[in-house]
């Protein structure tokens, strides 16, 4: 268990959103957390998302997000979250939408395959 994990136990999402995210590599303030990427199967936080500078007060679209993997969190303090990012990866909304669409397509393909197999199984039972 890393430092971030032990400090985050029992924390609310709203607690995360009030903390400044600081990159210890260059000392820059990256912003505050706007979103979390979750692994629902494992029940873990995969990454924190910080709005990029091109968005005005986090409201008006079109900007980029900084996606910071959970493993890059060094320390979660009472006021700040310290992260170590040698290279900051910005993800545009278009990229995130594309990733979400690809995931949805994979899920619907799985559902279609299962439905096809169930129909085949039912039709085979009828012919016996």
pLDDT tens sequence across 27-65 = 889 999 988 888 888 888 899 998 875 544 445 555 678
Enter the pTM of the model. 0.56
pLDDT at residue 103, rounded to an integer: 67
pLDDT at residue 116, rounded to an integer: 81
User: Residue 94, Cβ neighbours under 10 Å: how many?
Assistant: 10
Average pLDDT over residues 98-118: 73
Average pLDDT, the chain: 76
Q: Report the percent of the chain where pLDDT is more than 70.
A: 64
pLDDT at residue 1, rounded to an integer: 44
Q: How many CA atoms lie within 13 A of 79 on its CB side?
A: 1
Residue 88 confidence (pLDDT) above 60: no
pLDDT tier at 97 (50, 70, 90 boundaries)? low
Quote the Cα angle for 50-4-79, to 5°.
60
């Amino acid at each position: 268990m890393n430092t971030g994990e032990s400090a985050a136990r029992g924390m609310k999402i709203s607690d995360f959103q009030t903390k400044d995210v600081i990159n210890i590599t260059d000392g820059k303030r990256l912003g505050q957390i706007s979103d979390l990427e979750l692994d629902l199967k494992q029940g873990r936080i995969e990454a924190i998302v910080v709005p990029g500078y091109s968005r005005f007060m986090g409201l008006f679209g079109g900007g980029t997000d900084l996606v910071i993997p959970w493993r890059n969190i060094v320390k979660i303090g009472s006021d700040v979250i310290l992260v170590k990012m040698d290279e900051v990866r910005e993800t545009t909304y278009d990229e995130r939408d594309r990733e979400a669409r690809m995931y949805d397509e994979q899920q619907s393909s799985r559902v279609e395959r299962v439905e096809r197999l169930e129909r085949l199984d039912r039709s085979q039972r009828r012919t016996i």
